[in-house]
Amino acid sequence: MPRVQYTDSDVALMARMMRAEAEGEGKLGMLMVGNVIVNRRKANCLDFEGLRTIPQVIFQVQGGNYSFEAVQKGNVFYNRARGVEKRLARQTLDYWRQHPSKFALWYFNPYAACPPTWYDQPFSGQFKKHCYYEPKANTCEGAYTW
């Protein structure tokens, strides 16, 4: 049973997002970005309350801006999803989770050292240039469920 329900179009959209956000960080980097997308869909708390589909997560607007830089800048649409990204997206939707993105709801590339918190949420770890942050304890149980 997958971690969340999804359609083929969800897979393609998520694969494009993973490629746009982390292609330079290889397959593992793209898997970690995909994991954050799935975690946001599952969380139903904090900034991600009421998100029920992959497109709702990817096109979420917060503070007048899209949540993901690739949507904000438009580069999520520059390239079609290739088979490799679609396989990675399905893998993340079905079962994949790994530290530091295992429970993460946020990530960013600070172009410097990762700060210990991001919007008051604790640092969970770094993979290549991306810093990952998970919710504070007892603030978002949905992020910690399968």
Can you give the pLDDT at residue 76?
76
Can you give the pLDDT at residue 92?
97
Can you give the pLDDT at residue 3?
94
Report pLDDT digits (tens) over 13-46: 999 999 999 999 999 999 999 999 999 999 999 9
Position 1 in a domain:
no
Sequential DSSP letters for 45-60: SGGGTT--SHHHHHT-
Position 2 in a domain:
no
Can you give the pLDDT at residue 48?
95
Q: In what order do the strands lie in the sheet containing 117-118?
A: 106-108, 130-133, 121-127, 117-118
Query: How much of the chain is helix, strand and coil, in % rounded to 5?
Result: 45, 15, 40
CA 100 remoteness from chain centre: 12
Position 86 in a domain:
yes
3-state secondary structure of 62: strand
Q: What is the CATH number of the domain that holds 110?
A: 1.10.10.2520
Number of domains in the chain: 1
Can you give the pLDDT at residue 37?
97
CA angle 23, 17, 132 (to 5 degrees): 75
Residue-level pLDDT, tens digit, the chain, 146 residues: 899 999 999 999 999 999 999 999 999 999 999 999 999 999 999 999 999 999 999 999 998 999 999 999 887 777 888 999 999 999 999 999 999 999 999 999 988 999 999 999 999 999 999 999 999 988 998 888 87
Can you give the pLDDT at residue 74?
83
- Provide the residue range defining the domain that includes 27: 8-144
Can you give the pLDDT at residue 65?
93
Position 136 in a domain:
yes
Can you give the pLDDT at residue 117?
96
Position 3 in a domain:
no
